[in-house]
Structure 1
Amino acid sequence: MNASVEIWDAEVEQERARWSQLWTDSPMKHPFAQPDLCKLLAPANGRLMAAVLNDGPGHVLYPFYLREIPETTAPSSDSGAVAGKDITSPYGYGGPLHWGLKNSNATAARFWTEFDAWAAAEGVVSEFVRFSLFPEELLPYPGPTRARQLNYVRDLDVPDEELWDGVESKVRRNARRARREGVRIIIDDQGTRVEDFLRIYLGTMDRRASAQWYRFDRTFFEGLHLALPGQFAYVLAELDGEIVSADLLLLGTTTGYYFLGGTEASSFSVRPNDLVKVEAMNWLRSTGRRRYVLGGGVHPQDGLERYKRGFAPHGAVSFSTGERVLAPQHYERLVERTRKSFSDCGTAWDESDDFFPPYRRQVPARLPALQTAGGATS
């Protein structure tokens, strides 16, 4: 008899424990599917859940957040009324992960039929999924997908000289410079240097005027240490006794993921972060990892993307998202409502914007009326 899809709620202690055990038993131990880390990354009003299928030796694990859709998108609204629900996946890489299945296509057909029946009963309007970069980890998806931007993955399963020669010449030049200047690399896989990392990271976020969501505090990192014991590492660059650059890596069984990082502006000329990433690759390989996900830029083809490409010039992989409309009529009403809110605020609706779902676009504040010299509104 075939097993059925179960929906686990991370707020229910027994279900969260089962999820944690399933993740622990998985062959990839994908960090972005660990329930305690997913909880730390939850968006506002997002209820952490997982759709799970345990079928003999095969398993499917799909973490997601179930969110209520506010009745109005006006920025000043505090009515608390709800216009439905939608689904979004955790920050990073994820989607419906699977392992041990005999026939992933057959399992996918059953999984999505049962999952969609649950979603319909919950009043789910749409679903947004951030996919893993590796198709072999993913259950086939039944809806539209969108290629967002390039990410870079470095193959670590190569000889020493190939690992070094495989980065761009400017990276080798910058790493040599850092070494000549006396930069020393420290690997901390226990979290003892979290204060050094926080100082570097938050300073970088201030310099870049990053959104508040990215300004994680010490409590967040302490929670991360508890969620992923033995599966994280800080790679720090020390110069003249001070930490001047640092990256935080999250670790799966065979894959290391760049997660967060930063550099002191005063040390830019020494190029410490080039050496941080070079030594991160060396260290990951020494631990048996076979690939290093550096990620991409904030926007396609920006300076950050070009920087990461320097470490994996032949490792471009498309990062994609899944975007399904599960209740079309309700979805269209919500989009039209948000479009009208833009119009009411005097802001044009950009039909080319690929934000999904579009009804969650942030509506700008209403523009103040302009006054003429005589005092009449124009």
Structure 2
Amino acid sequence: MGNLQIIPFEERENWDAVVRSFARFDVYYLSGYVSAFRFAKDGAPFLLYYRGEGMRLCYVVQQRDIAESPAYSGILERGRCFDWSTPYGYGGPLTEGFSERGIGDFFALLSDYCRSNRIVSQFIRFHPLLENYRVFEGKCELYNIRHTVYMNTKDKAVIDANLESRCRGAIHKAMKNHVQIENSRSEEAQKTFIRMYYETMQRRSAADYYYFSEEFFDDFFAKLADCYRIFYAVLNEEIICSAIIMYCNGSMHYHLSAARKEYFALSPNSLLLYTAACWGAENGCSKFHLGGGVGAQDSLFLFKRSFHKKGLADFYIGRNIFCEEVYRELLKLRAASDPGFCPDNDRLIQYRA
């Protein structure tokens, strides 16, 4: 039997050493990435690390006290039960070696730990570029919810060859209108991004969750300083759109973005992503993950797909229920206190609908 270690966030040096020991590690697994999400009230971060039975694996979870959810305020005592979810973005297992016996051993240890520590369920956002949902097939309820898009950034010639004509036209339009792209990690670039980001969230009537606090951004910029740059479009000495681009171990990610609506017609974001992709090619990144849309085939997805029509990767989510009786009890408690709640809803973790 192998060994399952639960590494707390406070052991950041050990955490990152474990993550970096896996050949295909990415930015989402580093303590510096998850650190900021402590300010989003997503729970206490832990790194799960399994060794044994011919394989190793690790992934990040955030642990929440279910009683702290507004839906259970006053009807569930604190410290009674918890759940796990992978942080915002992408996660799931990093692996070295694989065996059916090893994955069975891991889930046996994981289930025992969760039942002993009142962890009711876990929700996993798998990493599209790693296709790591395959590791948990047969051990986790898996759902393919949409395509995401990535660009091949091997070199500029490949980037150019994969652009659709409408995307190429949008890039040229921005250039023709004298839009210029710069990148920086300066304090001025950070402050401008934050201000524009809040304006963008307000214009989109975004959910409260996405109004990340200034403490969130300050922590992100400080803890992940070697893994991001802010790319921004400038017109007449004014920043008109901006994006946080993360990079790590040969991969880039389009993380958060902001833009001024009055300049949409100039297509500054097309030029920004193209320029970021070219920067990635020059700096050792082979793939630039743009993510997906809000829906399966919405305008945002189609915009991203115009950068590489064949660059599609499946985004899977999954769940495990470790304490079936407590899971059902939570659904009953919620239904009894909220007449509008439907226990048989389409959310993966139904008691959090």
Distance 1:73 1:267 in 2: 39
Classify 1:241/1:291 alpha carbon distance in 2 versus 1 (closer, same or farther; 3 Å).
same
Q: 1:126 aligns with which of 108, 112, 121?
A: 121
Paired residue type of 2:349: P
Deviations 1:76-109 (A, max 9, x none): 64875455221111110001212xx333444322
Paired residue type of 2:94: L
Q: 2:342 aligns with which of 333, 349, 361?
A: 349
Q: 1:234 aligns with which of 230, 235, 249?
A: 230
Give the Å deviation of 1:192: 5.2
**SS of residue matched to 1:279:** helix
Paired residue type of 1:148: I
Q: Is the counterpart of residue 276 in structure 1 residue 272 in structure 2?
A: yes
Partner of 2:58: 61
Distance 1:217 1:287 in 2: 31
Distance 1:278 1:74 in 2: 43
Q: 1:172 aligns with which of 163, 168, 173?
A: 168
Partner of 2:102: 107
Q: Please list every run of 5 or more consecutive structure 1 residues that lacks an aligned counterpart in the other structure.
A: 362-378
Distance 1:26 1:123 in 2: 30
**SS of residue matched to 1:70:** helix
Structure whose CA Rg is larger? 1
Paired residue type of 2:335: R
Distance 1:283 1:16 in 2: 30
Q: Is the counterpart of residue 195 in structure 1 residue 191 in structure 2?
A: yes
Classify 1:186/1:58 alpha carbon distance in 2 versus 1 (closer, same or farther; 3 Å).
farther
Q: Please list every run of 5 or more consecutive structure 2 residues that lacks an aligned counterpart in the other structure.
A: none
Q: CA contact under 8 A between 1:325 and 1:331: conserved in structure 2?
A: yes
Classify 1:88/1:280 alpha carbon distance in 2 versus 1 (closer, same or farther; 3 Å).
same
Q: CA contact under 8 A between 2:67 and 2:73: conserved in structure 1?
A: no
Q: Structure 1: which 4+ aligned runs deviate by more than 6 Å?
A: none
Q: Is the counterpart of residue 332 in structure 1 residue 334 in structure 2?
A: no
Q: Is the counterpart of residue 256 in structure 1 residue 248 in structure 2?
A: no
Partner of 2:4: 5
Q: 2:298 aligns with which of 294, 302, 309?
A: 302
**SS of residue matched to 2:58:** strand
Farther off after superposition, 69-78 or 188-197: 69-78
Distance 1:79 1:324 in 2: 22
Q: How many residues align?
A: 350
Distance 2:51 2:235 in 1: 50
* Aligned-residue RMSD, C-alpha: 2.6
Deviations 1:293-317 (A, max 9, x none): 1011223222222222222221222
Q: 1:152 aligns with which of 149, 153, 157?
A: 149
Q: CA contact under 8 A between 1:92 and 1:130: conserved in structure 2?
A: yes
Q: CA contact under 8 A between 2:249 and 2:285: conserved in structure 1?
A: yes
Classify 1:115/1:76 alpha carbon distance in 2 versus 1 (closer, same or farther; 3 Å).
closer
Distance 1:192 1:280 in 2: 19
Give the Å deviation of 1:222: 2.7
The structure, 1 or 2, with the larger RCO (C-alpha pairs under 8 Å, 6+ apart) is 2
